[in-house]
Amino acid sequence: MDTFPQFLVHNAKTRPDRAAVREKSRGIWQTLTWGALADEVRALAAGLSAAGVRRGDYVGLLGENRPRLFAAMAAVQWLGGVVVPLFADTPADELAIPVRTANIVVVFAENQEQVDKLLAVMPQCPSMRHIIYDDDIGMRHYRQSYVQAYEDLLATGRDGLAQTGGQIDAELARGSSKDPAALFFTSGTTGPARGVVHAHGALIDRARVAVAVDGLNEQDTLIAYLPPAWMVQHMFAYALPMVTGSCVCCPESSETMLNDMREMGPTVFLAPPRVLEALLTQVTIRINNTGGFKRSLYDHYIAVAQRVGLRTLAGDPVALSESVAYSLGNVLIYGPLRDVMGMSRLRVAYAAGEATGPDLLLFYRAMGINLKQLYGSTETGLFITAQSEGRFKPGAVGAAAPGVELSLGAGREVLVRSPGLFLGYHGEDEATHRATHADGWFHTGDAGWLDEDGQLHIVDRMQDIGALTDGSLFAPKLLENKLKFSHYINEAVAFGNGRDRVCVFVDIDAESVGNWADKQGLTYTGFADLATLDEVYGLIGEIIAKANAELAHDPQLSHAQIHRFLLLQKRLEPDDGELTRMRKVRRDVVSRRFASLVKALYDGSPVGHVDAEVRYADGSVGVLSSDIKIREAKTFAPHTAQRVA
């Protein structure tokens, strides 16, 4: 079994009646077994072959997680093609770039919205010759010969199998572990997005590591709710189920995800930090809206959990009274909390995508959720490091996973050598050579260090790390994660490199801050108005002061306390280029777009003015012109709680 379609056929033979994919549609869960999935994929491969798809062709996938998306992936790979998942929320004017870059010949589109975007960019994409849509709502009047329904392609394949079945099966047998399987585009956080090509063998190897480290198996249930274009989601929603024979579930929509998750009861869960923060925010808002007794009970047992959890993680003995208190808390608070979040059956959960703040990790683990930090990049695959049971360290991402070698290069850059490394950047041989050594080492671009136990600690992206004018370290991600643990802060962007002090932009969480403002009897007309209130500035100022007090007790970070801050009057958005499609901050874009505000933070101005171009939900473009208040933050002398003069 060298390729994913070969695993599919194996699963169909060994567990034909077990659930492979479940989808909630119109309130009802629909199940596709391994046997039925394999039959559909074989017929779909025949249809694609009749449509002219050949070995080595690149085929795009534009939509949310759906059973037919997974079937399309396997069918393309059955023929030796390469799948290219694309971000479904990409506007039409941006979509042409990845389609052209990857030389995509066919695209599977989920619905009319995605088809319209593809038709709009088709004149700019000479390689694209065929569009296949799934949902036929609104598609009855489309007459283009190159636009075809998924059902029609599948029927064509089924009808032709009697004549072409032998050829189709021969293509399956030709598959090799060295064949390209998928192309994923990098996030574009630190530069232009590149097409990263992975072989079947590399992705399968990393999936097998997950099996070895955490015992993932056919009994597991996973949830597919993140963008399929994200390589990590692809591993969890496609590669792992194929290798283990487990079941993946697709929620009905993002709005129903939490309820659907409670119904499906996943045993394995993947989330980027922003999702974990959002879940915690929702829980906190609910608790804040309860009566005084329930709130006091929650606060008491959360303190118990964090106290006992920390001792347990450190391997220290726990007093009997503390153990009893934790058990009682599990009955009254932690268990119901896990149930509300749909995590009552979880065996293991993973945080991935970017560095997760230690406070956030410890909170979930204290609740009895086995949450681990994954480390990797689009180029390195997943499971570069592994946090083994009993060896969890806050702030570390674990030791090298099986088959992986770690080393530190110039500037403590993390270097990786692994069977899961990519084949190269599509069409960019020079960039591939720059990123990889002849002896197989890959430059991650991350700065880190290895402790005495061989566990890796990531500091930040190398290009984001700098120094204040006194020469002390400036690593913005450490500060931002500390602030984002507060449910009132959605995003934070810290500045300080080459400057005498640290200042931050804060993007408040509209729901959480709005809920707080309502309880205070404050009036406001919208997000921008909410972010101007003096009372909200006071709320965020208290959070920053608390973070500064903690930093003052850290000898390595006491110099990095935040001195001034402002509240942005618009959300940082992917459509405005300030965030990637995976909601990571593009620092260079934010710095350029709000350069006048950065200047005002450092020249002592009480107010900064900004004129920034914004894209509205209907696609129109406007200009945000506003004056934004700037406030001083409370800072502390190192190792004391006294105010800095």
Q: Which pLDDT does position 642 carry in this prediction?
A: 45
Higher per-residue pLDDT: 393 or 479: 479
Highest mean pLDDT: which range of 310-319, 350-359, 614-623: 350-359
Instruction: Tell me the one-letter amino acid at 513.
Output: V
Non-local (6+) Cβ contacts of 140 within 8 A are none
Q: Which pLDDT does position 314 carry in this prediction?
A: 56
What's the token pair of residue 114? 């995605």
Crossing angle, helix 200-214 and helix 4-14, to 10 degrees? 50
76, 58 contact by CB (below 8 A): no
Confidence of residue 358 (pLDDT cuts 50, 70, 90): confident
The CA distance from 586 to 566, in Å, is 18
157, 132 contact by CB (below 8 A): no
φ/ψ of 388, rounded to 5, equals -70, 155
pLDDT in tens, 28-53: 999 999 999 999 999 999 999 999 99
The CA distance from 63 to 292, in Å, is 45
Instruction: Tell me the one-letter amino acid at 641.
Output: A
Q: How many CB atoms lie within 10 A of CB 406?
A: 22
- The β-bridge partners of 503 are 495, 564
pLDDT exceeds 80 at position 196:
yes
What's the token pair of residue 510? 């509209």
pLDDT exceeds 80 at position 640:
no
CATH fold for domain 4-250: Rossmann fold (3.40.50)
Q: How far is CA 510 from the centre of its chain?
A: 21
- What does the domain layout of the chain look like in residue ranges? 4-250, 270-401+445-461, 466-632
Non-local (6+) Cβ contacts of 198 within 8 A are 180, 181, 182, 183, 184, 231, 381, 422, 423
pLDDT in tens, 566-575: 999 999 999 8
Instruction: Tell me the one-letter amino acid at 94.
Output: E
Q: Which pLDDT does position 617 carry in this prediction?
A: 62
Q: Is the dihedral of CA 100, 105, 109, 113 positive or negative?
A: positive
Q: How many CB atoms lie within 10 A of CB 314?
A: 10
- Would you give the end-to-end CA distance of the chain in angstroms? 68
The CA distance from 42 to 37, in Å, is 9
What's the token pair of residue 153? 């392609």
Q: Which pLDDT does position 643 carry in this prediction?
A: 44
Confidence of residue 645 (pLDDT cuts 50, 70, 90): very low
Q: Which residues of 316-350 are buried (b: 16+ CB within 10 A; e: fewer)?
A: eeeeeeeeebbeebbeebbeebbeebbbbbbebbb
Q: How far is CA 132 from the centre of its chain?
A: 27
The CA distance from 135 to 116, in Å, is 13
Non-local (6+) Cβ contacts of 393 within 8 A are 387, 451, 453, 455
CATH fold for domain 466-632: GMP Synthetase; Chain A, domain 3 (3.30.300)
The CA distance from 335 to 346, in Å, is 12
The CA distance from 63 to 109, in Å, is 6
pLDDT in tens, 275-334: 998 888 888 888 888 777 888 898 899 889 888 866 765 567 888 888 899 889 999 999
* Nearest in space to 20 (alpha carbons), one of 201, 171, 241: 241
User: What is each CA distance from 12 to 19, 68, 239, 415, in whole angstroms?
Assistant: 10, 17, 16, 39
Higher per-residue pLDDT: 57 or 573: 57
What's the token pair of residue 536? 């909200």
Confidence of residue 489 (pLDDT cuts 50, 70, 90): very high
The CA distance from 115 to 135, in Å, is 10
Cross-sheet strand order for the sheet of 424-425: 147-149, 130-133, 104-109, 58-62, 82-86, 180-185, 195-199, 424-425
pLDDT exceeds 60 at position 644:
no
Pairing of strands 607-615, 621-632: antiparallel
Question: What's the whole-number mean pLDDT along residues 185-214?
Answer: 89
Give the least confident one: 212-221, 343-352, 615-624. 615-624
The CA distance from 540 to 536, in Å, is 6
543, 633 contact by CB (below 8 A): no
pTM over 0.85: yes
What's the token pair of residue 402? 């099986």
Higher per-residue pLDDT: 354 or 441: 441
**Alpha-carbon Rg of the chain, whole angstroms?**
25
Confidence of residue 616 (pLDDT cuts 50, 70, 90): low
The CA distance from 59 to 45, in Å, is 12
Three-class SS state of 404: coil
* Nearest in space to 416 (alpha carbons), one of 376, 472, 388, 453: 376
